[in-house]
Chains A and B, each alone.
Chain A
Amino acid sequence: MALDERQQIELINKEYAEKYGFHDPEKYVFKARKGLSREVVEEISWMKGEPDWMREFRLRALEIFWKKPMPTWGADLSGIDFDDIYYYIKPAEKQARSWDDVPEEIKRTFDRLGIPEAEQKFLAGVGAQYESEVVYHNIKKELERQGVIFLDTDTALKEYPDLFKEYFGTVVPPSDNKFAALNSAVWSGGSFIYVPPGVRVEMPLQAYFRINAQNMGQFERTLIIADEGSYVHYVEGCTAPIYTTDSLHSAVVEIIVKKGARVRYTTIQNWSTNVYNLVTKRAVAYEDATMEWVDGNIGSKVTMKYPAIYMMGKGAHGEVLSIAFAGRGQHQDAGAKAVHAAPYTTSNITSKSISKDGGRAGYRGLVQIYPGAHHSKSNVVCDALILDPESRSDTYPYIDIREDDVSVGHEATVSKVGEEQLFYLMSRGLSEADALNMIVSGFIEPIVKELPMEYAVEMNRLIQLEMEGSVG
């Protein structure tokens, strides 16, 4: 076989890496090959020691992924090269229990996020996902006492196989869309939460996760089950350092909100601006249940994410609050989906977007009312702020009604920062930059005030950073 010089060098390097573990500054026990094949998927499943049904599930999903065409709507996804991605990386670090065991690099990253160590420790049940697998997981005793299960998804599959199998893949089947199929084939990590009937989890559960290796995709899978009458608030925040080549983040989040339960899921997404963030988030809400998505999109190159609520039981309520910020080179195609499949269901969608420096922010939503979902109500309000002539804002709200006794409304406004508002503030001694900052902060305030305090602070700081240099 004829190999050219470059291929030979690669081969030698590969052998060195395998034999001696050098030429490999990243500390991995296992590094899957780039690209996707049945073998890669089988290897992931084997590495994780998964049951047969999960291996079958992954392989079936892979077939669906191959069959489905790329979406032709939404953002430009032509930059994704599925052959140039690692689909699984297992970190050398084992599951850490105490703060001391958490690797220095990760602590440094937390510091750069601006959250002091003390506060990190204080926050209950921080599950930090590093390199596709949770390495730090500290569940407060209180949660254990209440019977709440809060694990990374891989561990949950091992420890609670029956509970897991009952719900996994029921809200977002692999056939839902191409990226849900991809996630189903190669998923790794994510959070698993089960809240028993009547239990209220008072403090928000949080997990930080990050992308840390070049060309490495993250495919975490989160499954939350809130049993009857329970309450939980899950907070997901992510930041990523800048790399030179594009990364793919394609997560799936499934939430089951049973009768009378309430779940709030908060996300602040601040991926570096070379990440494709293509996420399927969906919740089903049963009788009198409430599901709330609070979704902030600040980072990434491209985000396509439309948190969905399927209201399946009488009196269910859904709420989506969404902020998108699109700066240079960014396209935030965010939105929401509310499906009313039962009578007396209500939903509220509030979307705010800001675009500047040529960024493109959009709202894409669907409100669907099924036959029989009488007395349903839905209201959608979208506001967009465009800060300069190069930027763009889009609104695509779909409304699909198959029942007569309902009320659905949609409103959207796109505008610039008012000269009069600026003048008012500047005449009171504020600089133009401060005035602009204040107006933008006020614009997103209805959503920021819904965030947990430390996130609200972080959010405001992020917006301020993004707004730097936008005047003059």
Chain B
Amino acid sequence: MHVEDETVTEKTLAFEALSREAVEALSAHFGEPDWLRQRRLDAWRLFLDTPWPSNQKDEEWRKIDTDLLVKTVQSLHLVSPDSETVTATTDLPEKLQGILREADRRSALLVRREGGLVFADVNDDLRAQGVIVADLLTAVREHGDVLEPHLAQIVRADEDKFKALHTALLSGGFVVFVPKNVAVEKPIQLVHWLDEAGTLVFPHVLLIAEANSAVTVLDEYLSNDLPDVAFVTGAIEIVAGDNAQVNYLNVQNWGKNVYHLASQRARMGRNTMVNWSSGQLGGSLTRFETEVWLEGDGGMAYLNGIYFPTGEQYMANHTLQRHIATHCSSDLLYKGALLGNAHTVYRGLIKVEKGAQQTDAYQANRNLVLSPQAHADSIPMLEIEANDVRCTHGATISQLDEEELFYLMARGIPRKEATNLIVDGFFAPVIDRIPLRTVRDRLKTVIHERMENA
């Protein structure tokens, strides 16, 4: 056997990345309870039985290079399931240092690197309140009863092949559990860091907010530019009980060469409020499905989205506002600006099911195309099966307005600065809806950087 071959064997953990052996080895490695092992194996069975999505046949995948996705997934190896714990924050990557300095603004910080937890700092009062903030696969062993009803049950393996693969090869993640009647005052911060190229990563976040609870979670996905492709297939599951108030903020700022398919869903109870903010900035190819299911009467969901690709980036956002119960409202605003050869796809659906009377749903997607080579697709959709509703959606794709530029320049503002002002103004309505100042500032900084380099 060649030496080269041995290296490969070692890297692939002695089995092929996409195999039943890999599923079983992972489960054994984490010492998982039977129920999770069974979920993985069932998902593996579904993975084998489900065809890959095709942009020729599947409407939802029509605007993405599915051949590239499939080829990439099949060519990479699994991320190693462990990482060495870091004790001093200075040992963490440069890109995280700014975040780490914000310690007084949060109640917990967890950092994962590749497959494993590397840093955890959880305030004692959270523990006292019965809040769990932990590494997912550690929590599976310690709090199995809390996780079992929800883990891989909200985003399900039987929905498509990538979701099946995610469940089968789940490589870790975070769990946040807030018990009944508990309000967590300061945000909980979760960071996914990646620096190994050529890997398949399957991160998962499970957020359970029980009845009458309140919590704010900031979930970030970060890396440096990678020399080769890393493929992230992630899932976010949110369970928000009756009267719960959940702010969930998701910032994706991967470096180059990261592909990220994300399936994210919140299921909501009676009079529940979910405010979901999403910033998509980095990565080479990202596709985020974000769904809110309003299952209890009187629920309210806000969805705030920002995307700003440049260069050769591809970013897709698929959203669903699913109204199942009565007297619910949902309000979605996704805004994106495009530079370079970027391609964005927004595909959003308001679905009002039979009997979901008194629904008030709104959906707006605005695109600002700043480069002649950039390409924006927008598909805002409505499917309404109840009559006593008010559903409105709107989509626009436009470029910088020369008249607005002229107005500012006539007042002595140079063209570049005037352009920046207009772009700031374009994003302001959605940035204002984001509940954390740190995130608002961070997004503004990235927007400014993008405009400077344009």
A and B part of one assembly: yes
A residues at B contact (CB < 8 Å):
72-73, 371, 384, 386-416
Q: Which residues of B contact A408 (CB under 8 A)?
A: 395-398
Assess whether B381 is interfacial by the CB under 8 Å rule: yes
With the chains together, A395 CA to B384 CA distance in Å? Answer: 9
Contact B387 A410 (CB under 8 A): no
Q: Of residues B59, B355, B383, B390, which shows the largest number of chain A Cβ atoms within 10 Å of its Cβ?
A: B383
A406 contact set on B, CB distance < 8 A: 369, 397-399
B408: Cβ under 8 A from any A Cβ? no
In the complex, B392 has a CB within 8 A of chain A: yes
CB proximity of B276 to chain A, nearest CB, Å: 23
Question: In the complex the two chains form, is B384's CB within 8 Å of A394's CB?
Answer: yes
How would you classify the secondary structure of chain B's contact residues: helix, strand, loop or mixed? Answer: strand
B447 proximal to A (CB < 8 A): no
Question: Given the complex, which residues of B lie within 8 Å of A394, measured CB to CB?
Answer: 381-384
Any chain A CB within 8 A of the CB of B12? no
| Partner-A contacts on B (CB < 8 A) | 57, 59, 354-355, 357, 367, 369-399
Q: Please give me the 6 A-B residue pairs with the lowest Cβ-Cβ distance, nearest first.
A: A395-B382, A386-B387, A399-B378, A414-B391, A404-B372, A404-B369
Q: Are B395 and A413 in contact (CB under 8 A)?
A: no
Residues on A with beta carbons closer than 8 Å to the beta carbon of B370: 404
Contact (Cβ within 8 A) B379 A386: no
Question: What would 8 more interface pairs be, CB under 8 Å, given A395-B381, A400-B377?
Answer: A396-B379, A399-B395, A401-B369, A404-B374, A406-B398, A407-B397, A409-B394, A410-B394
For A387, give the chain B residue with the smallest CB separation: B387
Task: Please state if B387 and A405 are interface contacts (CB–CB under 8 Å).
Answer: no
B residues within 8 A CB of A397?
379-381, 395
Among candidates B367, B375, B389, B395, residue contacting A414 with C-beta atoms closer than 8 Å: B389
* Given A391-B387, A414-B384: A399 and B393 interface contact (C-beta under 8 Å): no
How many angstroms between the C-alpha atoms of A280 and B444 in the bound complex? Answer: 48
A410 to nearest B CB, angstroms? 4
CB neighbours of A415 from chain B (8 A): 389-391
A-B contact pairs, 14 of them (CB 8 A): A387-B387, A392-B385, A395-B383, A401-B375, A401-B378, A404-B369, A406-B398, A408-B398, A409-B394, A410-B394, A414-B382, A414-B391, A415-B389, A416-B387
B392 contacts A413, C-beta separation under 8 Å: yes
B10 to chain A, nearest CB (A): 45
Give the residues in chain A near B382, CB-CB below 8 Å: 384, 393-395, 412, 414
Q: How far is the CB of A352 from chain B (nearest CB, A)?
A: 14
> Which of A371, A392, A396, A405 makes the CB contact (< 8 A) with B399?
A405
Given A391-B387, A415-B390; A410-B395 close (CB under 8 Å): yes
Cα(A416)–Cα(B389), bound, Å = 7
Q: Which residues of B contact A392 (CB under 8 A)?
A: 383-385
> What CA separation (Å) do A203 and B393 show in the bound complex?
39
Q: How far is the CA of A177 from the CA of B387 in the complex (A)?
A: 34
Residues of A near B374 (CB, < 8 A) are 404
* B389/A386 in contact, CB under 8 A: yes
Instruction: Determine the residue in chain B with the shortest Cβ distance to A402.
Output: B375
Distance A357 CA – B392 CA, assembled complex (angstroms): 23
Contact A407:B398 (CB < 8 A) given known A389-B354, A415-B389: yes
Of B59, B355, B367, B397, the residue contacting A73 (CB under 8 A) is B59
**Cross-chain contact of B377 among A393, A395, A398, A414 (Cβ < 8 A):** A398
B57 CB to closest chain A CB (Å) equals 7
Provide the residues of chain B in CB contact with A400, threshold 8 Å. 377
* Distance, CA A394 to CA B391, complexed state (A): 11
Measured between beta carbons, the chain B residues less than 8 angstroms from A399 are: 376-379, 395, 397
Nearest-neighbor residue (CB-CB) of B347 within chain A = A398
Contacts of B379 on A, CB cut-off 8 Å? 396-399
Shortest B321–chain A CB gap in Å is 13
CB within 8 A of B394: which of A72, A388, A404, A412?
A412
- Complex: A60 Cα to B75 Cα, angstroms: 42
* A406 CA / B338 CA spacing, docked (Å): 14
Q: Which residues of B contact A387 (CB under 8 A)?
A: 387
A399 and B369 CA atoms in complex are apart in Å by: 13
Residues of B within 8 A of A390 (CB): 354
Using CB atoms, name the residue of chain B closest to A410. B395
Min CB distance, B48 to chain A, in Å?
23
Contact present for B377 and A401 (CB under 8 Å): yes
The residue of chain B having its C-beta at the shortest distance from the C-beta of A382 within the complex is B382
Task: State in angstroms the CA–CA spacing of A315 and B141 once bound together.
Answer: 67
* A contact residues around B392 at 8 Å (CB): 411-414
Tell me, in angstroms, the Cα distance from A405 to B381 when the chains sit together. 25
**B355: chain A residues within 8 A (beta carbon):** 389
- Chain A residue at smallest Cβ distance from B62: A398
Please report the C-alpha to C-alpha distance between residue A398 and residue B388 in the assembled complex, in whole angstroms: 26
| A72 and B57 form a contact (CB under 8 A) | yes
Chain A CB within 10 A, most for which of B354, B384, B386, B392: B384
Query: Which residue in chain B gives the minimum CB-CB distance to A69?
Result: B57
A399-B379, A401-B397, A413-B392 known; A386 vs B369 contact (CB < 8 Å): no
Provide the bound-state CA to CA distance between A397 and B375, in Å: 17
Expressed in whole angstroms, the Cα–Cα distance for A399 and B397 within the complex equals: 8
- State A285–B373 Cα separation when bound (angstroms): 26
- Nearest Cβ distance between residue B377 and chain A, in whole angstroms? 5
Complex contacts, B390 vs chain A, CB 8 Å = 413-415
B450 CB to nearest chain A CB (Å): 16
Nearest neighbor of A374 in chain B, beta-carbon distance:
B372
CB-defined contacts of B59 to chain A, threshold 8 Å = 73
Nearest-CB distance from A414 to chain B (Å)? 4
Contacting residues, chain A, for B394 (C-beta < 8 A): 409-412
Q: Provide the bound-state CA to CA distance between A177 and B198, in Å.
A: 41
Q: Which residues of B contact A416 (CB under 8 A)?
A: 387-389
